[in-house]
Structure 1
Amino acid sequence: MELGYVQGYVHASAAIALDADLLISLHYNGSSDPAAAGMTIYYCDAGGEQNAQFAAVIRDALVDALASVGYEPPYAVTAEDGTIGKAYGHLATLGNAYDAPFVFAGNRLVGVPAVLTEPLFETNPDERALLNDQSTYDALARGYLAAVNAWFGR
């Protein structure tokens, strides 16, 4: 199995072991094109309809968070994880499991809101500069907290 799949499987396994109420996998994007910039929040339909809803809540909160440091991403979307084009299909981080060789076996986090976030590109000079500024991390942390609080109605 591909290393990325194994790592994702371990992440989802930890969430299952902890009986998590939700899962947010924090990432930054990268591209061979330094002009690539923007935000994508991935979810998996196989885990339940709450995932797309939670992805939208996270996206909106992170857009607001980045606005607080004066940045508006050129795009901010939610996307079903099957669109990424991984050899194994859906992301293991979002609870998806496969039998070798990459036969979908199901989602282990059905009913648990689960997303993988990529709010900025590490390979874009402007977005990289944001990542070099602690205020961006503080703003993103507040954004994640706002999203979780909104999700749980706080």
Structure 2
Amino acid sequence: MLVQLLLGAAIITLTIIVQVVILGVLAYFFARVKHAVSDVTRSIRNITIMVVSVLWLVLGITINTWIWALTFIYIGEFADIETAVYFAISSFTTLGYGDILMSEKWRILGSLSAVNGLIVFGLNTAFLVELMISTWGKSRLK
């Protein structure tokens, strides 16, 4: 159990770092181009900002699920990458169909993947809400 908790904590730390870097790059990008796009129609600019942001955050989620999938392969839990990726996505998004299960030896690690997904999605949600407020303004969101 201790090995699962330590490995899970290491992977969670790694994926949080990845997601925070993704968020930081996005925030830096918008801070740099904020004035460059101010000539574009406001609604087009706002829509573009949100679409680009969501797609960029999905990239971070994709990287994180691949980190989990590769971990599952590395520990020998799944025999092929397709199964590992499927389980990682299902677990990370907390969907958890239950059609593929981890062995008793590693099942805590699978649960930690779901905990990690909740944290990452929470970070993304907070970022998007703040981005919407800064893009549209507080009064426009009421």
Shorter-normalised TM range: 0.3 to 0.5
TM-score, normalising length: structure 1: 0.30
TM-score, normalising length: structure 2: 0.32
Q: Which has the higher strand share?
A: 1
Which gives a bigger RCO, structure 1 or 2 (Cα 8 Å, sep 6+)?
A: 1
Q: Which has the higher helix share?
A: 2
